[in-house]
Amino acid sequence: MDRLLFGDNQFFGVNHMSEEKARAQAMRFQDIKAVIEVLDNAMDEGVKSFMCTTHDRIALVCDHMRANPQRYENFEFMPCMPYAHKYANAVTEDGMLGTLKRFMPDEGFLNAAVRGGMSLARKDIEGVTTLLIDAEMKMFAGLKTPVIFLQNVVVDLLLGMGFNEAFRIFADHVKTRHNAEPGFITMNMPMLLDVLEKLGIDNPIVCSNINKIGFRMCGGFDAYEKALREKKFRAIAMSVFASGAIPPEEAIEWICQQPNIEAIVFGASSRGNIRNTAGLVNRFWAKH
Amino acid sequence: MIRIAVVGLGKMGLSHHAMINAHPRVKVAAVCDATGYVLDVLNKYTGVRTCTDFDAMLAEVPLDAIIIATPSSMHTKMVNAALAKGLHVFCEKPFCLDTAEGEAATRTATEKGLVNQVGYHYRFVGAFQEVKRLLDAKAIGEVTHILAEAYGPVVLRPKGSSWRTQRAQGGGCLYDYAAHPLNLVNWYFGEPTTVGGTVLNKIFSAETDDEVFGTLFYQDGKSAQISVNWSDESYRKMSTKITIWGTAGRITADRQECQVYLRDTATPPAGYQPGWNSRYTTDLTEPVWFYLRGEEYSAQLDYFVRCIEEKRAHDNVNSFASALATDKVISMMIADAERGPAPTSAVAPVVRAAPRKWWQALLGR
């Protein structure tokens, strides 16, 4: 895995500090060309792995990459699914089962109907889950997706309820059907690691907030430090700048001192910021 | 260990279940829902005890407390049954659609000394708590007006049917969305004496409102305006914003940040200065034991648990009594909207003649 992964919050009006800033970004990136331009900048700075939500608009990025195979030969997507707001808003309109029906894939109708219908009838989530994964992966057909992540809202909902079997189903399906490594995004890293260990999911890829001020590191800063020192997993750090609360140099210097961190995911909207972050990582990571 | 049951497994119920189940000092003794399907899946994969009959669950399962997240029209009956059993109650908002029933339930909870809380989670958001601290410290002098807004993308087309799309069930923009800013306004200003100019409009819904506007009036001359729309796709998710004007400055707050402008006449609280000040969620938020969808959701449940442990049944945040105050404002707004626009609309407006311009005088017009 690359050391630096490019995130997508900035493209979709997600900003944990300011709604004004989020809106300005949503406006700037409403033309998909603006998104692609920033991705091109990232690539030219050597950042070529894109951790992105399975938002409808990412499909447009995928189309562009498929149309220019040479330019994007080395580009990799790391899809993060599902885009939860799409489902949450649908639940209000259609209720739980209605929502499931709405998002069932339309291609391979017979297969979907059998897998989904049987699975719904047997109260077996495996069929429905794998169908939803396949539906979300449709937009990436023909592109490289070496890691597929389960988004934190879903991971943490399942984790809280103790719905652990779902993690195994996700991991198995991603490996066998999509030939990818499963990844898990969480806000409760120490707790998730214990569960994945019990399930026998070995050396999992786990992405969580890891930053110097302990922002959104649930379970506590000490538990995170301990997990990084003692647990066998492939850690990806997100929110290393704690939404801008830590100056870039200080944030990167600190994260590079932590043990067992395989990659950092960051978002940026300008080539200058991408270059600065990449430069800081090269400078500090090399020392450790 | 506190033994809790979660009733109603919709969006809120499932998320409450996940958070409270992860709480180190709580045991989820049962979950209850009318539809067997979700229950059967949960039971099969997590082993949690499940019930479809609420009364049977109360009779059979030993419990200390209950979380009620059913459609609002069912709250009163369930809250009363739980209180009668001597259970501490956390109930989703809005509390009761009938304020007389809400008053009775509030009295029962108080008499029995049971912890009672309603899920107005914005009171656990750091930025909105900071606003309360600033107002209590009179940071912006004498407050004159508050504007409370909430927008988001819930009902975006004339389709769909669930309890949330029906006013009679407690669905709609007023009960679902506007209740939150109204609750914050009540927290900051107290209860209004009257409401006026209420508009409850349908945009896409057939059986309930999609946009809510209105003015709240207070005894001391303060006023508040409410502007809420849940059919606004330009927002990615629900977004609530409070703006407060005072003689010595202005406060603007949303979930992420609290911006304060203080005039030279203000006495800035510790850490503030004249002119612009910003406080971000990163400084204002206390860590929680488990994060699902915002610290405030976890924090309110942890607070409920601590109130039970510390036997603090009186004067807690988001008590039934304070939620009832919000229910009353909601009822006033419904009555006001039903009455229609105030009679001044029928009076011919006074038209003052504009002063003649110099060129009109010159031309003799």
Cβ–Cβ gap B14/A157 under 8 Å: yes
8 A C-beta contact, residue A218 and residue A224: no
What total number of domains does chain B contain?
Answer: 2
Residue B82 in 3-state DSSP? Answer: helix
Query: Is B362 inside a domain boundary?
Result: no
Query: Is B263 inside a domain boundary?
Result: yes
**Alpha-carbon distances of A231 from A196, B19, B274, rounded to whole Å:** 11, 24, 49
Note whether B150 and B50 are same-domain residues: no
Reference A35, options A16, A62, A15; nearest CA is A62
- Å between A19 CA and nearest CA of chain B: 7
**Alpha-carbon distances of A108 from A115, B295, B297, rounded to whole Å:** 11, 41, 40
* B257 neighbourhood in chain A, CB within 8 Å: 17-19
Note whether B181 and B212 are same-domain residues: yes
Note whether B158 and B275 are same-domain residues: yes
Query: Is B314 inside a domain boundary?
Result: yes
Cβ–Cβ gap A92/B160 under 8 Å: yes
Note whether B218 and B245 are same-domain residues: yes
Note whether B11 and B110 are same-domain residues: yes
What DSSP assignment string belongs to B132-175? HHHHHTTTTSSEEEEEEEEE-BS--SS---SGGGBGGGT-SHII
The CATH code of domain A4-86+145-285 reads: 3.20.20.100
Does A247 contact chain B (CB < 8 Å)? no
Give the residue numbers spanning the domain of B31: 2-120+299-318
8 A C-beta contact, residue A21 and residue A250: no
Q: What is the spatial distance between Cα A136 and Cα A103, in angstroms, rounded to a whole number?
A: 9
Q: Which two tokens stand for residue B277?
A: 């000040």
Rounded to two decimals, the pTM is 0.91
Q: How far is CA A73 from the centre of its chain?
A: 21
Cβ–Cβ gap A89/B154 under 8 Å: yes
Query: Is B361 inside a domain boundary?
Result: no
For B111-129, write each residue's pLDDT tens digit: 999 999 999 999 999 999 9
What CATH number did the domain enclosing B61 receive?
A: 3.40.50.720
Query: Is B65 inside a domain boundary?
Result: yes
Does B281 contact chain A (CB < 8 Å)? yes
Note whether B101 and B214 are same-domain residues: no
What CATH number did the domain enclosing B283 receive?
A: 3.30.360.10
Neighbours of B87 (CB within 10 A): 22
Cβ–Cβ gap B291/A156 under 8 Å: yes
Closest in A91, A98, A162 to B46, CB measured: A162
**ipTM score here?**
0.89
- Per-residue pLDDT of chain A in tens (288 residues, 90 and over written 9): 999 999 999 998 887 778 888 888 889 999 999 999 999 999 999 999 999 999 989 999 999 999 999 999 999 999 999 987 777 766 666 666 667 666 665 544 445 555 555 566 667 788 888 888 998 999 999 999 999 999 999 999 999 999 999 999 999 999 999 999 999 999 999 999 999 999 999 999 999 999 999 999 999 999 999 999 999 999 999 999 998 899 999 999 999 999 999 999 999 999 999 999 999 999 998 765
Note whether B128 and B149 are same-domain residues: yes
Q: What is the spatial distance between Cα B206 and Cα B328, in angstroms, rounded to a whole number?
A: 25
Note whether B114 and B256 are same-domain residues: no
Note whether B170 and B43 are same-domain residues: no
Q: What is the spatial distance between Cα B280 and Cα B242, in angstroms, rounded to a whole number?
A: 15
Q: Which residue of B has its CA nearest to A99?
A: B160
* B44 neighbourhood in chain A, CB within 8 Å: 123
Note whether B114 and B204 are same-domain residues: no
Does A280 contact chain B (CB < 8 Å)? no
Note whether B105 and B231 are same-domain residues: no
Query: Is B344 inside a domain boundary?
Result: no
Q: Which two tokens stand for residue A28?
A: 């700037």
Query: Is B353 inside a domain boundary?
Result: no
Q: Which residue of B has its CA nearest to A120?
A: B37
> What is chain A's length?
288
Note whether B127 and B160 are same-domain residues: yes
Q: What is the spatial distance between Cα A77 and Cα A82, in angstroms, rounded to a whole number?
A: 15
